[in-house]
Structure 1
Amino acid sequence: MFAFCSRRLDADGPAGTPTHRTLADAATAQLHEAILAGDLAAGSPLRLTDLAESLGMSMMPVREAIRRLESLGLVEVVPHKGAWVRELTLDDAHDTHEMRLLLEITAIERAAPRFTDRDTEKARAALDRHVSASQLGDQAAARQAHTDYHFAIYAAAGSRWLLRALEPVWQNSERYRFAGTRSPEAAAERHREHQAILAACMARDAASAADALRVHIHNSRSRVIQKMTRLDDKDA
């Protein structure tokens, strides 16, 4: 059975992460992190009694956490059969990245002309945290900083509904991103892509920002597909 971290549920998290306000929030955060990190692997059953025992809480907040993760597309629930972590497949990887292109390109084209110095500060600070956490091998902090970086940019679009539409696609994409290549060369390439995206937004150049983001998403998909294909060939 998966072993969850035992830190206090009401303790302050790292910079940029909120303190959990309820047991359901805490259960969601820990299950979410376990899925993204691969500690709860694709296809893993999510048994309420086992999870509640591991988390040290009753089944009610765990049930709510599973419901929330289902709404993000990370968990599949079938009545009378149970719940499990959604599988990672090549078809889903392609579909996820196509939806990223559709939603994120729209967001950045709206965000770039509206970009302010404050938006730059938020995105740059998140990008710095991402680099530091990655170098330290803190994958949880790196994931959060990566999300903070992109959404600091997309928030400048000024559309609450666009961000809400993007959220489940983004969360599913993060599973694939961390299933991809983690070499120093790939990390350096991703950082150059992030810098190019931010530079275009700072220049308020919507076309260049969209082009830079399109390259970033295409390269992310290529790294994921290459690794998944190699794993499939090994298993064949």
Structure 2
Amino acid sequence: MTRTAERPAGRASERALADLREAILSGDLAAGAHLGEVELAERLGLSRTPVREALTRLAAEGLVALEAHRGARVTSFTPEDLHGIFDVRLALEPRATARAAAHATADDLDALQDLADRMLAVGAPGPDQDLDALVGLNRDFHARLLDLARAPALAAALANVVHTPVVTRTFHAYDPASLARSLAHHAEIVAALRAGDGDWAGAVMRCHLGNARAVMVGSR
């Protein structure tokens, strides 16, 4: 196949990916909804091939579950699932953040500050706001913090509960005030680490996760 022939298929796949991701995150395609290739192709005005490619990529992002002989469905989490996820994160992630204060170098702190600044830029309200880019930067920020904790057991435990679709949906569910709080928390965590104050950093992480929990499922 020539490169010229590949481009339309690539554009169709990207369009299908963007449209389906938006439909899932907006709730237009509800959690647990069955995703039939034929129906989606008709909905998007595309062939089944780009739709199939988009579903595979959405499965890699955790937004879609592919089931043998049953097709695909939108990933779903019950309120109890979400409470359980946040319970574990609140028990472990502030501790990991506090530990990072003892290990972060000046270069580490500069890298975290750069991520916090970039999140403020892409998360600012307006036509240039990019929540998908924000999700990626947020993932990198939290991963760097966890790496600085130098605690493999904590990292392994958190890997089982930090679900990309939950984080992605959280950012898309934030109202402007909640999003502003979340972005400010990142900057304050860096400030606490620069001060070498693990207790302060851990306390801010607890507030950060509490803010996300309140948006997604409210308090217990």
TM-score by length of structure 1 reads 0.65
The residue type paired with residue 140 of structure 2 is D
Cα RMSD after superposing both structures: 3.9
Q: How does 1:93-132 map to 2 (within 5 A)?
A: 93-132=82-121
The residue type paired with residue 119 of structure 2 is H
The equivalent position to 1:177 in structure 2, one of 170, 173, 181, is 170
* Structure (1 or 2) with the larger CA radius of gyration: 2
Q: How does 1:56-95 map to 2 (within 5 A)?
A: 57=50, 59=52, 65=57, 68-69=60-61, 72=62, 74-95=63-84
The residue type paired with residue 136 of structure 2 is Q
Alignment partner, residue 147 of structure 2? 155
8 A contact 1:99–1:169 mirrored in 2: no
Q: How does 1:25-64 map to 2 (within 5 A)?
A: 34=22, 35-36=24-25, 41-48=30-37, 50=40, 57=50, 59=52
8 A contact 2:55–2:64 mirrored in 1: no
> In structure 2, how many angstroms separate the alpha carbons of the residues matched to 1:200 and 1:213?
11
What is the aligned length? 202
Q: Which segments of 5 or more consecutive residues in structure 1 lack a partner in the other structure?
A: 1-5, 11-22, 229-236
The residue type paired with residue 126 of structure 1 is L
8 A contact 1:179–1:224 mirrored in 2: no
Kindly state the Cα deviation for residue 41 of structure 1 after the two structures are TM-superposed.
4.2
Alignment partner, residue 159 of structure 2? 166
Alignment partner, residue 188 of structure 2? 196
Secondary structure in structure 2 of the residue aligned to 1:42: coil
* Distance change (3 Å), C-alpha of 1:191 and 1:46: same
Kindly state the Cα deviation for residue 101 of structure 1 after the two structures are TM-superposed.
1.6
Q: Which segments of 5 or more consecutive residues in structure 2 lack a partner in the other structure?
A: 1-6
Alignment partner, residue 3 of structure 2? none
The residue type paired with residue 182 of structure 1 is D
The residue type paired with residue 178 of structure 1 is F
TM-score by length of structure 2 reads 0.69
Alignment partner, residue 197 of structure 2? 205
* Distance change (3 Å), C-alpha of 1:214 and 1:191: same
Amino-acid identity (%): 25
Secondary structure in structure 2 of the residue aligned to 1:113: coil
Secondary structure in structure 2 of the residue aligned to 1:194: helix
Secondary structure in structure 1 of the residue aligned to 2:72: strand
